[in-house]
Structure 1
Amino acid sequence: MAKLGLHTFAAAPKWDVATMRAMLPKLATHKVRVLEIPLLDPAEIDVEATRGFLEETGIEAVCSLGLPRDIDVIADPEAGLDFLKPAFEVARGVGSASLSGVTYGTIGKISGAPRKQAEFDGTARFIERAAKLAKGYGLGLGIEPCNRYETHIMNTGADGRAYCEAVGADNVFIHIDTYHMNIEEVSYARGFRDCGPFLGYVHLSESNRGAPGAGTIGWAEVFETLVEVGFDGITTLESMNHVHPAIASALAIWHPVAANPDDVLDAGLPFIHRAAEAAGFRYD
């Protein structure tokens, strides 16, 4: 049975145990079983306090990040791996099973041209090395296709599958996001199906990055297809209600994504439950 998660950015710009502890009654009310912890700066995370909080509450963690702009994983893969190492250490330290996100490149970094074969090959080689490193920490490695305004390297579920197949590592999975799917896919159904057996994690993100149900995402199709493909993993509400300053510009977050910030959780989480239930998608 699937689990419902919440990305920290829906509640605060950075991970903070005290903030999350204050939210426990709300998380329990909305049956949130997983919290996504952004590791844009792994040094910000109090690993011991975070692991203690998660063990105490029984909440599961997923860790995520995007690489900084000054790293080019094709020209200098060692720099990319050096950036990932402390993130892998933190992810393992807090008890996460994976590190996911734009682990293969930089959010907001585009060439202005179609992806070249050399870029595909170089990125695949980096993902292969990153996956091997992640496995040494006992972690899965998620790769998130993003829209064309954020990357030209990986935009669709089919792109993600091509990389997974090229890499051939058993701990690499596709982390797909409805916000990006809304821009890039022929349909939500096609995007999920194209991931094939590599579909491992889903971001539930509205078309305007705000509260689910207050935009144009086709939620019935999203959940109906997740039922069809037999997905029983983690689906996480991601909203840019708050955003870490390190990536605000790359994500083009120029103004509030919801007129009332409380709606993202107070209206968005109940909406997700209703939409899932209507489609026969079951949460634990």
Structure 2
Amino acid sequence: MIKSCVTIALVPQIKTGPWIYWENLETSITKAAQLGFEGIELFTASADAIDPATLTTLLEQSGLKLAAVGTGAGKVIQGFTLTDPDPAIRQQATTFIADMIAFGAQFQALAIIGSMQGNIVAGVEREQAMEWLAEGLNFLGEAAVAREVPLIYEPLNRYETNLLNSLSDGAEFLNSLKTRNVKLLADLFHMNIEESSLTESIRQNESSIGHIHFADSNRRPVGLGHTAVAEIAKTLQEINYNGYVSAEALPWPNPDEAAQQTIKAFHKFFKN
């Protein structure tokens, strides 16, 4: 069964980013539950930024699940990436992500590697950067195995990374890894930029997809852009995707209305 999810960001440095709820965890969880969301995707400054016991209580009271945790603060705040030319920084990136995997796994939640994959920087050959990325993902994929959760890798659009931009390129790379525990994140916003057909890309890479980011072509909540979401929803149902579709979208025009639009769209496309 496809499940609804909404993003909550608790990192002031990413205030302009595509997350629906902000700042207050308890208030955000309460609002999400009242609207009927089934899960939350959480962005924190680090793995120890939230007390697990407090989060457990809030989730139990609300009936929500922690679906996923983002790792992007490792890059935004600390400057860590898996493809940095400095081996010490690559090690710090790996440690940061491993800690986030451990935090999320307490709730059977996925950890997502998006911006922390980094970029191929000047003076570094593509082959070398991809070797560093593979090294990091192999280690972290197995770290996630030990915690009994998959690891999620997100292809980003060309304006955010020059590593891997499409689902097919991502799937081919993941299939080359030693670990078999890394799955793709299909982000509809990034796909709208990079894929010639969102539905065909989903079908071709269905076995590799482990998480969905639910946002329209302009990164506003679904229904406020031009993405053909009905076709995508039908495709996800036909391939028997049974994970979360998570609203990593801009809080436009404000968090409450963005959340309301998202759950309305979710019911329209997945519960009709």
Report the TM-score range of the alignment, normalised by the length of the smaller protein: 0.7 to 0.9
Output aligned runs, 1:118-267, within 5 Å: 118-241=128-251, 258-267=252-261
Query: In the alignment, which of 100, 104, 107 is matched to residue 87 of structure 1?
Result: 100
Q: Whole-Å Cα distance in 1 between the matches of residues 204 and 38 of structure 2?
A: 27
Residues 212 and 269, structure 1, Cα contact 8 Å, conserved in 2: no
Q: Whole-Å Cα distance in 1 between the matches of residues 57 and 222 of structure 2?
A: 31
Q: Whole-Å Cα distance in 1 between the matches of residues 63 and 236 of structure 2?
A: 25
Residues 110 and 149, structure 1, Cα contact 8 Å, conserved in 2: no
* Unmatched runs of 5 consecutive residues or more in structure 2: 10-18
The reply to whether residue 68 of structure 1 matches residue 62 of structure 2 is: no
Query: In the alignment, which of 90, 100, 105 is matched to residue 117 of structure 2?
Result: 105
Give me the TM-score of the superposition, normalised by structure 1. 0.80
Q: Whole-Å Cα distance in 1 between the matches of residues 155 and 183 of structure 2?
A: 11
Q: 1:224 to 1:182 in 2, by over 3 A?
A: same
Residues 33 and 63, structure 2, Cα contact 8 Å, conserved in 1: no
Determine the structure 1 residue equivalent to 2:6.
6
Q: Whole-Å Cα distance in 2 between the matches of residues 2 and 113 of structure 1?
A: 44
* Unmatched runs of 5 consecutive residues or more in structure 1: 242-257, 279-284
Determine the structure 2 residue equivalent to 1:275.
269
Q: Whole-Å Cα distance in 1 between the matches of residues 122 and 215 of structure 2?
A: 26
Output the amino acid matched with 1:265.
A
Residues 15 and 45, structure 1, Cα contact 8 Å, conserved in 2: no
Q: Whole-Å Cα distance in 1 between the matches of residues 187 and 249 of structure 2?
A: 11
Output the amino acid matched with 1:43.
D
Q: Whole-Å Cα distance in 2 between the matches of residues 22 and 231 of structure 1?
A: 26
Shift of 1:110: 6.0
Output the amino acid matched with 1:81.
T
Q: Whole-Å Cα distance in 2 between the matches of residues 14 and 166 of structure 1?
A: 39
Shift of 1:186: 0.8
Residues 17 and 49, structure 1, Cα contact 8 Å, conserved in 2: no
Output the amino acid matched with 2:233.
F
Residues 4 and 33, structure 1, Cα contact 8 Å, conserved in 2: yes
- SS of 1:240's partner is coil
Q: Whole-Å Cα distance in 2 between the matches of residues 115 and 223 of structure 1?
A: 39
Count of paired positions: 255
Shift of 1:205: 0.9
- SS of 1:269's partner is helix
Query: In the alignment, which of 21, 44, 55 is matched to residue 30 of structure 2?
Result: 21
Cα RMSD (Å): 2.5
- SS of 2:55's partner is helix
Give the stretch that moved more between structures: 197-206 or 224-233.
224-233
Shift of 1:137: 2.5
Determine the structure 2 residue equivalent to 1:37.
42
Output the amino acid matched with 1:45.
I
Give me the TM-score of the superposition, normalised by structure 2. 0.83
Q: Whole-Å Cα distance in 2 between the matches of residues 154 and 45 of structure 1?
A: 32
- SS of 1:44's partner is coil
- SS of 1:167's partner is coil
